[in-house]
Structure 1
Amino acid sequence: MKKCLFAVLCCSMLLLWSGASEASPAPCYDPAYFTPEKAARIRSEAAAQLPGLVREIDRLRAEFEALNAGDEFFNDRMRKRFEITGNLIRFIRRELAGPSTDAAMFARRGVRDLRAFAAYFKDELAACREANDKSNLRSVSVREFGAKGDGVTDDTGAFAKAFEAVRNHPGRKVLRIPAGRYFLAGKAPNRSHWFLPGLENAEIAGEPGAEILFGDRSRMGIFLSKSRNVTVRDLMLNYTQPLFTQGAIESVDEKTDSFVIRLEPGRPEPRSGGSVCQTVDPETKKVVNDASGKWIGKVEALPDNRYRLTVRRAFQNPLTGGLKPGQVFVMPFRYDDTKPLFLHEGAYCTFRKIRVTKAPNLVFAPH
């Protein structure tokens, strides 16, 4: 449904934009294929379907207003999307009155989008009613299942038990995370730290001072899979492992496309592959653009915490261009498949007031 709504929004905005121009662009649809008879039939079908859809949208809008949900985030989202449907209805009516083949096709496209909006509003309103129904509420805290929240003890088992305690509850579910720093080592299924499959009509609520620490930068943080109507809110999420390493450049060998760095004390070893690296001037603390934009291939360990790095790709030619002794070379540890929050095949899920200061990639990604 999320993908469907995204497509509807894109198509509808394109149609609204295309009708707003005063210019007369070339036809989008070939008049030779879409004959006047075919265009007339398409226009007639769209005109016949529109009144019923308008009544349905009006009914759903009235239902939304009567719901009087106390969630302003939800209210604002719905108001804006009802406003879009109002604009879409006006656009369809205007195109139905137009004589061109394009007008007929745009009207039909708009009617299809309007139908998708109606289906979305029905589902969204149903999800809101479920969220507001507290008659069968099950609320648990991860502390009840042994979570320590001391930033050291692995609380993976306690978090898993808390999820299982509410997973199959038929009503509204709330998983509370009190103040504390909860360390999860990264031993949950599906390369995650906390795997939540099939969760529905639930809220994962952090209390003031709640932070979850992820111990493995190569794994997802919270992984929601095939979930519906779930809100995750008021949490700090961070990874504990270093997300970069750096060291001073000692020498540069243009002939072998390599250079030697001495790592700063306590920094992790560099690794081959990974993301684009940057070079920093130690005096100004600013990125040296002419010496940045490099990807590292071979990494060779040398004595005294030194490493020879071979550049496999760079924005410059030669590959070591711009590198000079004394500069600080910075190598980030990014993982394309790692996100603190990952949503797989979810619907009506919301993330609110989530703070992330240390992560190996994008904070959130839906799939």
Structure 2
Amino acid sequence: MADVVIAGGGPAGRALARACARRGLATTLIDPAPEKRWRATYGLWADELPSLPESAVACTPSTTLAFGTGPHVLERQYLVLDNAGLREWLTGGYDVVPGTVSGVDHGRQGSSVRLEDGRVLATGLYFDATGARPRGDRYEQTAFGAVLPAEDALRLVDSPDTAVFMDWRAAESGFLYVLPLGDGTVLVEETSLARKPGLPLGLLAARLRARLAAAGLAPRGREERVRIVLDAPVPRRGRTVPFGAAGGLVHPATGYSVATSMRLAEPVADAVARTWERGPAEAAAAAHRALWPSSARAVHGLRRHGLRALCGMPPELVPAFFELFFSLPAGLQRAFTSGREDLPGTAEAMTVLFRMAPWSVRKHLIGWHGPHGLLRSG
């Protein structure tokens, strides 16, 4: 019998498995394809995960730009992860079982995890890190990307070592994301910020091809397809503990979750280890508390409200909104994008942006402020 069983063999699941194993918990990871390479491109801000080893970093762009209506040099260091190095760093100390979970039964003394092939794994505590399932009633971020030789990317950016976090200068086509991959290639991605349901990938692919054709380029090399559920609510407490994207750890306004999931693996494993002797129900409750303290729940609510306000904004105003956002001081930008438990910083960032905005933008953010809004003037 394993102390902990974790379903999902991506970065979130493996980070949690590693953290639990390092605290002496007998840990099993269920992965439907243990040998399959991770194909997605993962990026994060360096200050979000300072413990990341160099072997897990594929590229450190020299400059990171963002465009609302004009260019902004972002002061934070952006990183592109090396998937093989990241996976190696997160491997070790736990067992890996090939399979897919078909159901879970919880009892007083533990849980039984049923696999599709009929096997049953007994465990004290079960985590679901299998990702968020797309649903028509949730906002989604979708993207279609193509990997180009770095020399081709020079028609889109001034240097092949430059990352473009967001480029909103063609609002009707969503935003462009350009990321050097550290191997002489560059990912160029057409991204829809948020829609319910998400913008079809075929439409984004056509937009990307049109954008590249306007620059005299044609897609070549591998393609990348992205679909991220953005506005998952805080999970209810129960004996199954959702983690990673399955647990609502995706930032509702950016779609990022990998750094948050890897960072939270350690405190969640600490909480489980501290309460393990009190039984599986208390260990599950402790894991939930570590994931969702009151400050994180409040910030998540503000972020989801911000997402809804953005989605209700006319497309022609979105570049002006991001022009304001990228004009905020770096500390306030960081608070909103990465301060998961920083309620004062998140509220201040939203308040300052509201006060800076012209009425054409402000009227779509009116719920952020005012006597009955989420944010109050000081």
Global fold match (TM > 0.5): no
- For the pair shown, the structure with the greater C-alpha radius of gyration is 1
Larger fraction in strand? 1
**TM-score, structure 1 length as denominator?**
0.22
Higher relative contact order structure (alpha carbons within 8 Å, sequence separation ≥ 6): 2
